[in-house]
Structure 1
Amino acid sequence: MPDGSVKTQKSGIRMCKPDYRLLNQLLIILNYDNVEVVPISRKKKGRIYRSHIRELSHTDTSARRFINRHKHINLEGELRGRKRSMEDPLVIGRIIGEILDPFRSSVSLRVVYKNQYDVMNSCELKPSQIVNKPRVLIGGDDDLRVFYTLIVVNPDAPSPSHPCLKEYLHWLVTNIPATTAASFGHEIVEYESPRPTSGIHRIAFVLFRQLGRQIVHAPRWRHNFNTRDFAQVYNLGLPVAAVYFNCQRETGWGGRRA
């Protein structure tokens, strides 16, 4: 018998055992907070039937609406996509969720410190390695009429356990031509190197594609910046690329992330 199923003693019906935690997360994503998936037998793989759904509150019609609208949904396909997204390091690192909405990367973004430290998602860099602004290389179409905005923020300031200054803006560059580097753009807020004093901080580089060349006003202060609000104000839409690294004090080891 294949893994993930069990045969009952009475009826001999094979019971499917999918990841119900993921199934219920899928329902939440679809805005059916009042519904959950419960273990039952399924004759046709990947389809939802009435017996699959249990309504948590009998006074709410969420379950009935879900059944009527999604009774032929392919759960297996949805779950594969959901599992891939959950394996995304930006999701694991909570960059997507705390700072950004889910997006699909479509432009290459390379961040290099001191010409030797390539930033990879969830890698760790010490404050001494990130004193000077990095070299940020941007891909995209070979069209210099396309421009990008680069935002660098810290969602863990001043400490991951009490991030009352989140997001802290470390760098803001706009009007970066495609297939060039951040140095070719307009620096709105100059680079300030992260200097964490408590816990492990995430430093996120976020790239947006602009609708055209823009005039952007510098925020009044660096603390309590909001990437989502900024993107909405300047009609930037969803990000096209992002990468982050972890940073803690020079002599730090281990530390608290949240």
Structure 2
Amino acid sequence: MASAKGAGIQGLFKEHCVVPDVISVAPQELVEINFSNGIKVEMGKELTPTQVKNPPTVKWAAKESEYYTLAMVDPDAPSRENPKFREWHHWLVGNIQGGDMNKSEVLSDYIGSGPPKGTGLHRYVFLIYKQPEKLNFSQVPKLPNNSGDKRGKFSISSFATKFGLGSPVAGNFYQAQYDDYVPKLYQKLKG
């Protein structure tokens, strides 16, 4: 498990304005994000939508008896200059037991990065929250990966407050801008 220095994570979250655009307190620990094509997320580095089209594996310093929530959000929808859909959530998973994604409740299926053409770099932020206990997410709509409906104007901070999650315990992020995979993603989202 990669362990980054807390100051490094916190510094990069502030340098790239993830704090305060998404959360008010940066996490102390790094969440390791690896895509099946051998691509690893390095904090703040640029990846392409093509590289991140499939769900990654996610690892962090989880305790076996604890439950966690994972969120992936884009605060730059449709652009960093005009974030009127902040945050667009790409992935939301709750009740992850002991860090095992196979023992979890998927609230929103993974959708890869799809920044519109000409909107520059978008930040894609992964956050892990430790839950106080196993939670009832029955009121949270379950969203498939073939529709973008109900994903815009999400707030992970509001969600965390509603479910008593506190501040994130681990995080990571990358940046991406338009490439030729984006139109294919949009076709898929039209269902």
The answer to whether the superposition gives a TM-score over 0.5 is yes
The correspondence for 2:83, drawn from 163, 187, 210, is 163
TM-aligned CA distance change 1:87 to 1:153, over 3 Å: closer
User: Secondary structure at the residue paired with 2:33?
Assistant: strand
Query: Structure 1 residue 139: deviation in Å?
Result: 1.9
Structure 2: any 5+ residue segments left out of the alignment?
A: 1-6, 142-148, 181-191
CA distance in 2, matches of 1:130, 1:85: 24
TM-aligned CA distance change 1:243 to 1:104, over 3 Å: closer
Aligned to 2:42: 120
TM-aligned CA distance change 1:114 to 1:86, over 3 Å: closer
Equivalent residues, number: 164
The correspondence for 2:114, drawn from 188, 192, 195, is 195
Aligned to 1:244: 173
Query: Structure 1 residue 104: deviation in Å?
Result: 4.4
Whether 1:172 and 2:92 are equivalent positions in the alignment is yes
TM-aligned CA distance change 1:104 to 1:223, over 3 Å: closer
CA distance in 2, matches of 1:85, 1:130: 24
User: Secondary structure at the residue paired with 1:230?
Assistant: helix
Q: Is the 8 A contact 1:85 1:91 kept in 2?
A: no
Amino acid at match of 1:100: I
Aligned to 2:185: none
Whether 1:100 and 2:23 are equivalent positions in the alignment is yes
CA distance in 1, matches of 2:42, 2:8: 18
CA distance in 1, matches of 2:27, 2:74: 21
The correspondence for 1:91, drawn from 6, 9, 14, is 14
Identity over the aligned pairs, expressed in percent? Answer: 27
Q: Is the 8 A contact 1:137 1:182 kept in 2?
A: no
Deviations 1:213-254 (A, max 9, x none): 111132581100011110100000111011100000127xxx
Q: Structure 1 length normalisation: TM-score?
A: 0.59
The correspondence for 1:149, drawn from 58, 69, 75, is 69
- Whose helix fraction is larger, Structure 1's or Structure 2's? 1
Q: Is the 8 A contact 1:99 1:228 kept in 2?
A: yes
Query: Structure 1 residue 150: deviation in Å?
Result: 0.2
Report 1 or 2 for greater relative contact order, CA contacts < 8 Å, sequence distance ≥ 6: 2
TM-aligned CA distance change 1:244 to 1:115, over 3 Å: same
User: Secondary structure at the residue paired with 2:50?
Assistant: helix
Aligned to 1:212: 133
User: Secondary structure at the residue paired with 1:239?
Assistant: coil
Amino acid at match of 1:177: Q
Superposition RMSD on alpha carbons, in Å?
2.0
CA distance in 2, matches of 1:130, 1:233: 30
Deviations 1:80-125 (A, max 9, x none): xxxx58971011011111111124415x521111251111111111
CA distance in 1, matches of 2:10, 2:26: 14
Q: Structure 2 length normalisation: TM-score?
A: 0.79
CA distance in 2, matches of 1:228, 1:214: 17
User: Secondary structure at the residue paired with 2:157?
Assistant: helix
Query: Structure 1 residue 185: deviation in Å?
Result: 1.5
What pairs up with 1:47-86 in 2 under 5 angstroms?
none
CA distance in 1, matches of 2:26, 2:55: 26
